[in-house]
Structure 1
């Protein structure tokens, strides 16, 4: 047996592990080693998951670009630490020590880094930067406005109705902060800085996939499953797609001998399809949570191909749908600004298309078209009220629109010619949305009455208290009337009996969501 100093051992260098340039999505989600085998890697074959072994070809970027990206991220972290230390009155970091540490961090390869893996945007690892827009410098604000780091105070405003404002008000009260203002004005939430050290980054690089990557989808049964989750769980909340026409176009995509060239409308449709898959895969119980996040990131990145075009000059309903789907998806991420701004642009495009005005002559033309216009507009209205309440910001849409609330008719009963009706013995999937439209009209008045007061000096006067008390009683009456007007199959009570249906799951979902709202 050779000794450690023998020629045999010294002349034979230890074998180096071959590094995989690109790992499959399943191994990246599980954070396990992947040999990069095609059509299925060794790890997926051993687990019997060959059908879920898919690769993100668009993720194969150069090592130099990845190193530069990580160096920028580390530099941003250093700047963040210095700002926090200055705010706390501590000594700044030693720049030389941090430079050396940053060099070691960026040069020390990790397994995931060398495999070109993409950690989901909600991961907290240092090298877990997603290739989604703005992921190189992630903002620690979730789109539900519940968590925010200190340095974001100067960049974004969160008003009195937001959860952040409520938590800060409770924290200030608990700490005996005499300088805190009333929770109704929310001015203590937004702090302006006169120094230039905490200026937000003007623009961030955006990864936009190639057009050919738009048509790369998982195997058929998984794609069908993700899309089914979208129709079951999201479509009743925001019915902004016309299901029969969308499914028909989706089915044509799987037909053999289809050309790969796509027009602009095809590209927008594929972007909308990727967004529905990004939303639906996060609701699918068939895959693990880490894999859900990785796949959702990939679908979302592909959907951003629309940004290669001039969306600011668009007059297309499909672009409005794309913006609304982007806002809905970003609600489940920590990219609050992207969620808020996507909705704002969708509202402006919808107004430029005249969705806020109902033309009487249009009703005689096509029931599908005018009902979809109503649904799109009132999706804008509901999201506008919902996000205004969530972020504590003013809503964009006032009362100056004439578009009526959509009819409680399911997609399959709408007619191109003539007027379809909902069968009387079939509970409509539109019940939740129609009821939510009425509910958020009350929410808008509540926000205007209690959170839009600018004169703080009058808040504690007797006249103001009496006025607020009268408003509370009036809103309580309106909510009681709304509760009484809800369809019976959506009411939640101890005496409610199950309604026969081929798919009672969507009824239960509508009941619970409406009850929570």
Structure 2
């Protein structure tokens, strides 16, 4: 019989209690669970509503509950596949002894106005190390959660294949293939050593979890003589490194072509991309929570946060659901990234640190990634950026490949000799560090665009718009020859960089046109050029057999608002004869050309944009708005598309063309779509 509770009643087993079924209270397994095939789940909890359960413990009438550490049965955390229903039971919030102040877990980088500068320079905390105290108490429940996360490392081969697949298309410039290969190889060896020859794998994972908690609170000490292997050999078994692997796996699932992702997953039966992403987001957030509880800051934590922000922006989007409820998880995570890069001092790099060459360059790239993310998400939300150039000393990473970045000194020096005075490679290669440098350039001008667009000052607006456009054109023309875009080139990465400059001009001219009514002709010309380039990018990638995700993102998050502006003007030009007559006095409006380009754009959008990901619903609404505008222009009658389903809430319908055009002009394309940092 089971043990009695305080009220004298016999305890019910957990399956019967949760299913509200009558338990016969037999031990070790009740007869009802035997009949239902739930013998492995049949346990008796001493106080099911007040304490974490201990599935491994079978209670008897003569045995009192002990205060031993709560454990989860290994069966509850074993993961044989990552299907759409896969999940990680990571428990609730851990119960910590108290809210005591963490030792040395504080500010990291302290600038010249900080309190320490008034007393002694010796009070600086050396912000780029992991700051914590080795005696930080570790909660047993967190150790249990950690073991559950570590159980997911059995799928390291899948994560490795995903990274290899991505590197064939777009090698990462923050954490490139050499680092990820060695990191995953070391984690594989550690995981296999931990579980090999054990009948109870979960007990071994609990021990490994404790090791990781102890390692994570130890400050990271670096030396300039370190190579990549030395660095990873000391710092692989940390929660920030484990979380980085899961964050990368989640982000990569959006960064490889869908057909290649499906092909990779076929090698792992029962695995789906939905299950993979669910596992990745839960595991990464658990590792983030571990690091937060321990109060540490570190370089790997920054890498994990950046990758997780990219992952969340693709998974949840930045704008919310179609009903207008904002999903602010991406924005919230961006705030965490911003806090960390300032705490690490990445915005004010020090030249006298005893750090290896590769780590200094990775820090530059991490700062660029955070800065670019900040500008992209701030643009889509119409909010002020969190990281401002004027308060930072953001340095350009060198235009060398990741293999050269982590290579031996003689190889690295040979690569440095192939750079010009401004840091660009003299070989005209786009596959080295030009992408990260291009991202920084684009983000710098995006901040200028935001400064003009978000300002409420109308005085001198036209001059400010023209000044930013002039500086952007001057900088673009001053780039090396191999970064100059011409119509005879076929590189989509180069086209994307050129597209960024054009989009900045579009945003500025749109602001000018909305607020002053000026610049319409130049806005239309810029919009037409952008749509033309986008269609060319899709065309040349289709000839190669695939359209990579970064081109699809450009199609959505740049192309859609530009197409919206063109459709507005197209509808306006079609309204009255007076506008048509007016157009003959100035350069004629290319009505036929724009109709053709918008029609092709909508077809490409419908073909290549993945459904049910990120901000797809918002993008889909914008697509339907443009389609409805085209229908009205071509048919001369109200569109056959149901406007209440496509664009308007509460069953509201649109009447004549003038009413629809008024709605179309107020459709905020900048808020309805987002920009994604790739």
TM-score, scaled relative to structure 1: 0.51
Report the Cα offset of residue 437 of structure 1: 0.6
Aligned pair partner of 1:449 in 449, 452, 458: 452
Report the Cα offset of residue 514 of structure 1: 8.5
1:351/1:234 Cα in 2 relative to 1: closer, same or farther (>3 Å)?
farther
Q: For the Cα contact (< 8 Å) 1:230–1:280, is it kept in 2? A: yes
Partner of 2:247: 275
Aligned pair partner of 2:393 in 402, 421, 430: 402
Aligned pair partner of 1:293 in 274, 295, 306: 274
Q: Deviations over 1:66-104 (max 9, x none)?
A: xx9xxxxxxxxxxxxxxxxxxxxxxxxxxxxxxxxxxxx
Partner of 1:493: 486
Distance 2:430 2:42 in 1: 50
Q: For the Cα contact (< 8 Å) 1:214–1:271, is it kept in 2? A: no
Distance 1:470 1:385 in 2: 23
Q: Deviations over 1:423-445 (max 9, x none)?
A: 63643342122112111111111
Aligned pair partner of 1:321 in 285, 303, 310: 303
Partner of 2:314: 332
Q: Deviations over 1:24-69 (max 9, x none)?
A: xxxxxxxxxxxxxxxxxxxxxxxxxxxxxxxxxxxx999xxxxx9x
Q: For the Cα contact (< 8 Å) 1:230–1:279, is it kept in 2? A: no
Report the Cα offset of residue 312 of structure 1: 7.8
Matches within 5 A, 1:1-40: none
SS of alignment partner, residue 332 of structure 1: helix
Distance 1:512 1:485 in 2: 28
1:446/1:506 Cα in 2 relative to 1: closer, same or farther (>3 Å)?
farther
Report the Cα offset of residue 225 of structure 1: 2.3
1:293/1:360 Cα in 2 relative to 1: closer, same or farther (>3 Å)?
same
Partner of 1:183: none
SS of alignment partner, residue 272 of structure 2: helix
1:368/1:330 Cα in 2 relative to 1: closer, same or farther (>3 Å)?
same
1:347/1:233 Cα in 2 relative to 1: closer, same or farther (>3 Å)?
farther
Report the Cα offset of residue 446 of structure 1: 1.1
Distance 1:505 1:482 in 2: 34
Q: Deviations over 1:112-153 (max 9, x none)?
A: xxxxx9996xxxxxxx998799xxxxxxxxxxxxxxxxxxxx
Partner of 1:31: none
Report the Cα offset of residue 279 of structure 1: 1.9
Partner of 1:258: 193
Mean Cα deviation higher: 435-444 or 476-485? 476-485
Alignment of 1:245 with 2:172, yes or no, is no
Q: Deviations over 1:448-500 (max 9, x none)?
A: 112132xxxx64xxxx2xx111122122222322332445555543222679x
1:129/1:368 Cα in 2 relative to 1: closer, same or farther (>3 Å)?
closer
Partner of 1:304: 285
Q: Deviations over 1:214-245 (max 9, x none)?
A: 34246565333211244456654xx3325423
Distance 2:448 2:491 in 1: 34
Matches within 5 A, 1:356-375: 356-362=347-353, 366-375=356-365
Q: For the Cα contact (< 8 Å) 1:489–1:507, is it kept in 2? A: no
* Two-structure CA RMSD over aligned residues (Å): 4.4
SS of alignment partner, residue 346 of structure 2: coil
Matches within 5 A, 1:418-429: 419-420=412-413, 421=415, 424=427, 426-429=429-432
Distance 1:259 1:224 in 2: 20
Alignment of 1:434 with 2:437, yes or no, is yes
Q: Deviations over 1:177-203 (max 9, x none)?
A: xxxxxxxxxxxxxxxxxxxxxxxxxxx
Q: For the Cα contact (< 8 Å) 1:217–1:223, is it kept in 2? A: no
Report the Cα offset of residue 304 of structure 1: 2.1
1:366/1:416 Cα in 2 relative to 1: closer, same or farther (>3 Å)?
farther
Partner of 1:185: none
Q: For the Cα contact (< 8 Å) 2:347–2:367, is it kept in 1? A: yes
Report the Cα offset of residue 359 of structure 1: 2.1
SS of alignment partner, residue 293 of structure 1: helix
Distance 2:548 2:285 in 1: 34
Report the Cα offset of residue 209 of structure 1: 4.8
Distance 2:386 2:428 in 1: 38
Distance 2:183 2:82 in 1: 31
Partner of 1:214: 150
Report the Cα offset of residue 511 of structure 1: 8.7
SS of alignment partner, residue 216 of structure 1: helix
TM-score, scaled relative to structure 2: 0.40
Unaligned runs of 5+ in 1: 1-59, 63-67, 69-116, 121-127, 134-205
Partner of 2:467: 474
Distance 1:61 1:444 in 2: 59
Q: Which has the higher helix share?
A: 2
Partner of 1:355: 346
Query: Number of residue pairs matched?
Result: 313
Q: For the Cα contact (< 8 Å) 1:274–1:300, is it kept in 2? A: yes
Q: Deviations over 1:378-414 (max 9, x none)?
A: 1111111111111111111122111312111111102
1:498/1:447 Cα in 2 relative to 1: closer, same or farther (>3 Å)?
closer
Aligned pair partner of 2:160 in 204, 224, 228: 224
Partner of 2:656: none
